[in-house]
Structure 1
Amino acid sequence: MSAKAHPQLVFPLRAATRDAAWYGTEPPDERRPPKFHVVAKDSAPACGQRGMILNDDTTFATWELAAVPRARRCQRPGCREHWPTDAHHD
């Protein structure tokens, strides 16, 4: 489900995974590690994909962008352009 990239980001930029409950399976399919997305101001992925990242009480785990392994980074427009190009944590 492609969606328009999100225009408002949270600074400093952080990354987080979507809640597995949004993947549409019951119980959630967690066989593959989730992708990390750049966090937008309304707690949604910056790429516009469905699914909340943050809880209402903002008790969530976020990562510095450079700390996210390249293989786990969302590559959709909106997230892709914000990942560092010189990451050393692959």
Structure 2
Amino acid sequence: MTANRIAHVLIHGRVQGVGFRAWTQHQAQLHGLKGWVRNRHDGSVEAVFSGPGEMVEVMLKACHKGPAGSLVQLVEPVDSVDHELDGTKGFEVRRSA
């Protein structure tokens, strides 16, 4: 079993209006991850993934492709100490930031 990992990322490209948040939630749930995803006002999508390191890595690779209709240009790691996971149960879609 691998150690748990938390990854906080910004996903840039054509990622809004294509079902990216719902797709991300579904994929994260399939991989047993906790965390959240939300649209940002700058047109990007922000997400935090928490769980076994192997599954987080699989999710990050999936985010480089995204759902049909998306065009991911960059998955940018965010250096953050506070990942806002307090009270998060499972994987949720949050309001835009």
Larger helix proportion of the pair: 2
Alignment TM-score, normalising by the size of structure 1: 0.28
Higher RCO by CA contacts (8 Å cutoff, separation 6 or greater): 2
